[in-house]
Chain A
Amino acid sequence: MIHDSIIRDRLVTGDKTAADVTRDIARPILNKPSTSWKIGFSLSIVFLGIFVASLFYTLWTGIGVWNINKSVMWGWDITNFVFWVGIGHAGTLISAVLLLFRQKWRMSINRSAEAMTIFAVVCAAMFPVFHMGRVWVGYWALPLPNGFGSLWVNFNSPLLWDVFAISTYFSVSLLFWYIGLIPDIATIRDKVKGKTEKAIYGFFSMGWTGSTRTWARYELVSLILAGLSTPLVLSVHTIVSTDFATSVIPGWHTTIFPPYFVAGAIFSGFGMVATLLVVARKVMNYENYITIGHLDAMTKIIMVTGSIVGIAYLTEFFIAWYSGVEYEQYAFTNRAFGPYWWAYWSMMSCNLIAPQVFWFRWARTTPWFIFIMSIVVNVGMWFERFVIIVTSLHRDYLPSSWVMYAGSLTEIGLFLGTFGIFFTCFFLFAKFLPVINMAEVKSILRNRE
């Protein structure tokens, strides 16, 4: 007996049966790649090439090829790092927090959002790893018992907390994603014809039988992992925010940073999920699974988190004035009206003002418009990090060290290149694994009884 109210929209439209679900979602995996897939994948490979070239140049010549200097010692590099880590938030939010809140609409988007999370974290990791310069001793960032003399990590440093927070987040997200995939991999295992494919999918399905006992355990593990992941949604970007907020730099040291960064991360993460899914549902014909209702719900979350971030901007600005600390006051005036005013107002208009269009039903239900808005959101969130990092650093306490900063071609190349990593991974995922969680979606079909 289902007691869902009649006024609720159906989560899966088109009167799909369980067999339809399997057929629709396994189709891209069982068939030859489509032309649109091939075009998209080739384009991603081009961007991946840009990444490899920029990285090679950076490593061969040294970090000096970036435009960072003695005042702005963090530039595009850390901006990009925070940008990607932020994007990597929606996946776990959707799968863990929305699971705890019993939001069933998450079922057709959680798989791709989790995949996106993992790829985004991989992209993010590139920046702190390579900005170390001597990347081959990168493992010194771990507290390993060592023979390097008195060398030992600094547990007081939020940068080290980052190492722990992000690696934990990555491991748990990967585990969560993989465990969620097991029943679906088993379905694919039973469908593929080739011997090698059968062996590979068979291996990763871990001998899934689909018995009641397996399912019971599977659901228990999912719930426990959801419980474990929920604090991680908060912890990662909280730690990232402390990279800035524990310092005494005006504009960085403010107590609202932890929750404000988390809200911003969810905001940008949902922006990226919307970008991907608006395209995917069209290209892969998943309009009955990722319905207008899903887009509606996602855009509402974008609007809410955008407003929360906006409240934080306004609070920071107000308290800077209220504090009576002239350095704080200057940092914020300089942000809004100094040489980087364009970055500040891009951030304000993209993050606080633009998402307010989602008050209108039309805006929430028109895919092409959502696509444009999702790009706007991510542009805004990139600018947010740029504003925080560069405007606070470029004018410090000593006017003699005031400088301007703009990213070099290599820095820009590295940033564009990470989109290559991201989309290459995503296209591979869309080809070889089911983009929608078949097993879960079958549980919410209305006509299953």
Chain B
Amino acid sequence: MGHGHHIEIKQEQYTFSPKTKRFTIILMVLGLVLAGIGIANLNNDSHSTATEHKTEANANVHDSHGKDASAHGDHAAAASHDEPAEHGNVPNEQFGPRAEYHSLNKPATTRIFANLLVAGYFFLMISLAALFWYAIQYVANAGWSAAIKRVPEAVMTFIPVPLIVILVVLFLDKNNIYHWAHYEHLHLKPEDAGYDKILDGKSGFLNSTLLFAFPAILVTIWYLLSRKLRSLSIQEDSASKGDVSFFKKSIRYSATFAVIFGFTISIIVWLLIMSVDSHWYSTIFGIYNFITHWVSAITIMAIIILYLKKEGYFGIVTAEHMHDLGKFMFAFTVFWAYVWLSQYLLIWYAQIPEEMYYYQIRWEEYHYNFIINFALCFCVPFLGLLMRSAKRNPVVMTVIGIILILGHYHDVWFMVFPGVFGPGMQIGLLEIGTFLFFSGVFLFWVFTALTKRGLIAVNHPYLEESVYHDTGV
């Protein structure tokens, strides 16, 4: 299609309709209400959560420390327990990496902060992934996507919001979220009881200074580059027809961003998420986190475009573009599963205790989450988007897309919560509320950003290619 007849390219101006505005506000209010109910429930049973949800495996440990375990002091107590184990073949739970799961007596507020960390991190990473996607279009000289480039441009403006949320959360509650931060604050010497050689060895990287410095500095650098790219793009709109100087500059800035981002993104992932399981390590973890948010970002952009089309905008965006976005969603769903399997298979196969406990607790104590995670992130989108017709159907794309996003949000939750709280946590109203509230804020922000400029990059040198884009099949 598209061949043989002329398509007129007109600038379109998006207005944030009251209906859409109402929807985003409903999301926010509903989120706040649900989160509020969740918090109220939290207060009701806060003192009993720790004992109610403990499992048999570590019940004995808790009982033995029940007397002296205060919210902050129990790590030292747990590790100082140095009399020989009398369990016979039962693994000694007081020794080794699993010991860190015993300190479950976290204040109820930690659950709120952990939720904010998950939401902040998820929306930070998808905004960054949208920016990376945008940069890749320039670096790879991609023509097909020129028509939709204003959408990632709007998504990437969101970067500072979740960054601030994360920094505030870290400031208020890092000692309860990160085992190592709690440990750092104890200032133990090698001769002290409860001294942890491994955590001490990591303190050159896992320390409070870097925990704030790396996200603050790196994200600011990336954000400034995104501002530059966004400004080049708007300047191009008012430039004379055929002026490719802004386009060429964009390529240069995109390449700069892509390289800086590629070499540094893992640092953020290690600091914010991997260090939740403070003893654990996995070299693929940065890639895994990137792919999780990369596929989510593409999906969110696809859903926003579909919505705008439904509202009557984006006349030049056809089923061909949606088909290609659907292919991206499909391909990176498969790639996510590949990276997931690479990590899981190798850790499972080698069975090294230091690595294995990450999956052990997630499999043994969070059986359903483990299965749901893989089902929502891989099985549903894989089967749902396999057919050509599915990728060209707005309803199927939206439904599968929302499931995919929920799956990956759960994936982040699943990386954080078992690490922070040990066994026994579940998705509740607080989690759902936080997600809905952040989705509302995110959509409100992105739709507002879309109103700030024309929806079509009218002077983009590849716009014509994009308008006549044809997937060929």
Chain A interface residues toward B at CB < 8 A: 1, 3-8, 100, 102, 223, 231, 234, 238, 242, 245-248, 253-259, 307-308, 311-312, 314-316, 319, 322-325
| A83, B2: Cα distance in complex, Å | 46
Shortest Cβ distance from A92 into chain B, in angstroms?
16
Q: Which of chain B's residues have a CB closer than 8 A to the CB of A5?
A: 143, 461-462, 464-465
**At the interface, yes or no: B467 with Cβ under 8 Å from chain A?**
yes
- Cβ-defined contact, B346 with A248, below 8 A: no
- Cβ-defined contact, B473 with A307, below 8 A: no
- Cβ-defined contact, A319 with B467, below 8 A: no
Hey, what's the 0/1 contact readout for B169-204 against A, CB within 8 Å counting as 1? 000000000000000000000000000011001100
If A3-B467, A242-B346 touch, whether A322 touches B202 (CB-CB below 8 Å) is: yes
Shortest Cβ distance from A3 into chain B, in angstroms?
4
| Contact sample, A vs B, 7 pairs, CB 8 Å cutoff | A6-B461, A231-B334, A246-B349, A259-B338, A311-B262, A316-B283, A324-B201
Q: Which of chain A's residues have a CB closer than 8 A to the CB of B286?
A: 315
Q: Which 10 pairs of residues, A with B, have the shortest CB-CB distance?
A: A256-B283, A324-B198, A255-B284, A3-B468, A258-B342, A246-B349, A323-B281, A256-B284, A324-B201, A255-B343
If A5-B143, A259-B287 touch, whether A319 touches B281 (CB-CB below 8 Å) is: yes
Residue of A whose beta carbon sits closest to that of B342: A258
**At the interface, yes or no: B364 with Cβ under 8 Å from chain A?**
no
Q: Which of chain B's residues have a CB closer than 8 A to the CB of A257?
A: 283, 342, 346
- Cβ-defined contact, B473 with A223, below 8 A: yes
Residue of B whose beta carbon sits closest to that of A156: B349
If A259-B339, A315-B266, A322-B205 touch, whether A246 touches B350 (CB-CB below 8 Å) is: yes
If A5-B461, A248-B350, A253-B346 touch, whether A319 touches B283 (CB-CB below 8 Å) is: yes
Q: Which of chain A's residues have a CB closer than 8 A to the CB of B282?
A: 255, 319
- Cβ-defined contact, A255 with B347, below 8 A: yes
Residue of B whose beta carbon sits closest to that of A256: B283
- Cβ-defined contact, B205 with A259, below 8 A: no
Shortest Cβ distance from B117 into chain A, in angstroms?
21
- Cβ-defined contact, A315 with B262, below 8 A: no
Shortest Cβ distance from B354 into chain A, in angstroms?
7
| A323, B274: Cα distance in complex, Å | 11
If A1-B3, A311-B263 touch, whether A255 touches B464 (CB-CB below 8 Å) is: no
Q: Which of chain B's residues have a CB closer than 8 A to the CB of A7?
A: 244, 247, 461
Q: Which of chain A's residues have a CB closer than 8 A to the CB of B461?
A: 5-7
| A307, B263: Cα distance in complex, Å | 9
Q: What's the tally of chain B residues with a CB closer than 8 Å to chain A? A: 46
Shortest Cβ distance from A262 into chain B, in angstroms?
9
| A314, B266: Cα distance in complex, Å | 11
Residue of A whose beta carbon sits closest to that of B469: A3
Shortest Cβ distance from B29 into chain A, in angstroms?
42
Given contacts A234-B338, A319-B282, A319-B283, 6 further A-B contacts (CB under 8 A): A3-B464, A3-B467, A238-B338, A246-B350, A258-B342, A315-B283
Q: Which of chain A's residues have a CB closer than 8 A to the CB of B371?
A: none
Residue of B whose beta carbon sits closest to that of A241: B342
Residue of A whose beta carbon sits closest to that of B200: A324
| A4, B467: Cα distance in complex, Å | 11
If A7-B244, A259-B284, A322-B202 touch, whether A253 touches B262 (CB-CB below 8 Å) is: no
Shortest Cβ distance from A144 into chain B, in angstroms?
26
- Of the residues B4, B342, B343, contact of A238 by C-beta under 8 Å: B342
Q: Which of chain A's residues have a CB closer than 8 A to the CB of B284?
A: 255-256, 258-259
**At the interface, yes or no: B352 with Cβ under 8 Å from chain A?**
yes
| A256, B339: Cα distance in complex, Å | 9
| A1, B6: Cα distance in complex, Å | 10
| A6, B279: Cα distance in complex, Å | 55
If A5-B461, A7-B461, A323-B354 touch, whether A245 touches B270 (CB-CB below 8 Å) is: no
- Of the residues A4, A238, A258, contact of B465 by C-beta under 8 Å: A4
Shortest Cβ distance from B24 into chain A, in angstroms?
35
If A254-B283, A322-B270, A322-B281 touch, whether A245 touches B262 (CB-CB below 8 Å) is: no
If A3-B464, A5-B464, A5-B465 touch, whether A324 touches B342 (CB-CB below 8 Å) is: no
Q: Which of chain B's residues have a CB closer than 8 A to the CB of A1?
A: 3-4, 468
| A322, B281: Cα distance in complex, Å | 8
Residue of B whose beta carbon sits closest to that of A254: B283
Q: Which of chain B's residues have a CB closer than 8 A to the CB of A254?
A: 283, 346
Shortest Cβ distance from B218 into chain A, in angstroms?
15
Q: Which of chain A's residues have a CB closer than 8 A to the CB of B266?
A: 311, 315
Shortest Cβ distance from A246 into chain B, in angstroms?
4
| A190, B64: Cα distance in complex, Å | 89
Q: Which of chain B's residues have a CB closer than 8 A to the CB of A323?
A: 281, 354
| A3, B349: Cα distance in complex, Å | 52
Shortest Cβ distance from B233 into chain A, in angstroms?
17
| A316, B281: Cα distance in complex, Å | 11
| A311, B266: Cα distance in complex, Å | 10
Q: Which of chain A's residues have a CB closer than 8 A to the CB of B259?
A: 307
Q: Which of chain B's residues have a CB closer than 8 A to the CB of A325?
A: 354
| A324, B278: Cα distance in complex, Å | 11
Shortest Cβ distance from A137 into chain B, in angstroms?
28
- Cβ-defined contact, A253 with B467, below 8 A: no
Residue of A whose beta carbon sits closest to that of B463: A5
| A311, B334: Cα distance in complex, Å | 22
Q: Which of chain B's residues have a CB closer than 8 A to the CB of A246?
A: 345-346, 349-350
**Which residues 13-55 in B have Cβ within 8 Å of A in the complex?**
none
| A231, B144: Cα distance in complex, Å | 24
Q: Which of chain A's residues have a CB closer than 8 A to the CB of B263?
A: 307, 311, 314
Shortest Cβ distance from A214 into chain B, in angstroms?
18
**Which residues 406-465 in B have Cβ within 8 Å of A in the complex?**
461-462, 464-465
| A168, B418: Cα distance in complex, Å | 40
**At the interface, yes or no: B472 with Cβ under 8 Å from chain A?**
yes
**Which residues 327-344 in B have Cβ within 8 Å of A in the complex?**
327, 334, 338-339, 342-343
Q: Which of chain A's residues have a CB closer than 8 A to the CB of B472?
A: 102
Q: Which of chain B's residues have a CB closer than 8 A to the CB of A242?
A: 345-346, 349
| A223, B388: Cα distance in complex, Å | 13
- Cβ-defined contact, A245 with B346, below 8 A: yes
Shortest Cβ distance from B7 into chain A, in angstroms?
10
Q: Which of chain A's residues have a CB closer than 8 A to the CB of B4?
A: 1
| A7, B460: Cα distance in complex, Å | 11
Residue of B whose beta carbon sits closest to that of A308: B262
Q: Which of chain B's residues have a CB closer than 8 A to the CB of A102?
A: 144, 472
Shortest Cβ distance from B26 into chain A, in angstroms?
40
| A432, B199: Cα distance in complex, Å | 64
Shortest Cβ distance from B36 into chain A, in angstroms?
39
**Which residues 350-375 in B have Cβ within 8 Å of A in the complex?**
350, 352, 354
- Cβ-defined contact, B202 with A324, below 8 A: yes
Residue of B whose beta carbon sits closest to that of A1: B3
Residue of A whose beta carbon sits closest to that of B264: A311
Q: Which of chain A's residues have a CB closer than 8 A to the CB of B244?
A: 7
Q: Which of chain A's residues have a CB closer than 8 A to the CB of B285?
A: 255
Q: Which of chain B's residues have a CB closer than 8 A to the CB of A231?
A: 334
| A254, B346: Cα distance in complex, Å | 8
- Of the residues A248, A253, A259, A311, contact of B342 by C-beta under 8 Å: A259
Shortest Cβ distance from A366 into chain B, in angstroms?
20
| A5, B408: Cα distance in complex, Å | 37
| A231, B287: Cα distance in complex, Å | 18
Report which residue of B143, B285, B342, B347 has the largest number of chain A beta carbons within 10 angstroms of its beta carbon: B342
Q: Which of chain A's residues have a CB closer than 8 A to the CB of B352?
A: 248, 253
Residue of B whose beta carbon sits closest to that of A262: B338
Q: Which of chain B's residues have a CB closer than 8 A to the CB of A307?
A: 259, 262-263
